[in-house]
Amino acid sequence: MKDSCCEIDDVACCDIKVSEDTAICKECGGKGKSVGEITLKSLVKEPVLEAIESLNGFYYCETPTCGVVYFNNEQQVYLHKEDLKIRVGIKETESPIPVCYCFGWTKERIFEQIKQPGNSTAVREISARVKAGECECEIKNPSGRCCLGNVNKTVKKGLELYGKNKRKE
Ligand SMILES: [Zn+2]
């Protein structure tokens, strides 16, 4: 398997080094991926941060319906959506839903492009800026990882829902 956070071929992906450790979120039973100290420091509200003993060993819960964003089972710390400074796209149902945190792409913007003119430029544009070294996923994306995988999924979903040019694919 390709060692890439975004799982898309022919696309530049930022090479953030994050541990692939996982742990189980006690609130939903879902798997969470390890998240670095730098990500927590920039996205968690200050008073909440101050109350945490150590920022090591935290995981990011990816379950859309679970209110927990970061958890640490050893310290018994569970940080919820309201403990963060930003909206976590995968856990939001109301617009605007952020998909790319570095360059401001939302699900709505991608879907609009798919409705008219028919396809989204998101993956291409984001990938160009990633290549230029402009992304800051580690401190802007709640997962601490590259957003391209999620952006690609959103584009595919949009094409399924609104794509007019499906025959060409
Ligand atoms: Zn969870």
**Which pLDDT value is given to residue 12?**
63
Res. 10: pLDDT tops 80: no
User: How many domains does the chain divide into?
Assistant: 2
Domain boundary among 31, 65, 85: 85
Compute the distance from residue 67 Cα to the ligand 1 centre, in Å. Answer: 7
Q: Are residues 61 and 131 in the same domain?
A: no
Q: Are residues 30 and 54 in the same domain?
A: yes
122 within 8 A of 105, measured Cβ to Cβ: yes
Q: Say if 23 falls within a structural domain.
A: yes
If one compares 65 and 20, the residue with the highest pLDDT of the two is 65
Residue 6: pLDDT band (50, 70, 90) is low
| C-alpha 55 – ligand 1 centre gap (Å) | 18
Amino acid at 156: K
Q: For residue 4, is it within any domain?
A: no
Q: Which of 35, 55, 85 is the last residue of a domain?
A: 85
Domain assignment present for 73: yes
User: How far is the centre of ligand 1, averaged over its atoms, from the C-alpha of 79 (Å)?
Assistant: 10
- What pLDDT score does 153 carry? 93
Evaluate if residue 83 carries a pLDDT over 50: yes
CA of 25 to the centre of ligand 1 (A): 5
- How close is the Cα of 102 to the center of ligand 1, in Å? 24
Q: Which pLDDT does position 169 carry in this prediction?
A: 47
Considering the domain architecture, whether residues 66 and 27 belong to the same structural domain is answered as yes
65 C-alpha to center of ligand 1: Å? 8
We report the CATH number of the domain holding residue 35 as 2.20.25.270
Residue 59: domain span: 19-85
Same domain, 169 and 114: yes
Residue range 99-122: mean pLDDT, rounded = 95
DSSP, residue by residue, the chain: ----SS--TT-----------EEE-TTT--EEEEE-HHHHHHHB-HHHHHT-S--SSEEEE--TT-SEEEEETTTTEEEEGGGBSS--GGG--SS--EEETTTTEEHHHHHHHHHTTSS--HHHHHHHHHHTT---HHHHSTTSS-SHHHHHHHHHHHHHHH-S-GGG-
Same domain, 98 and 149: yes
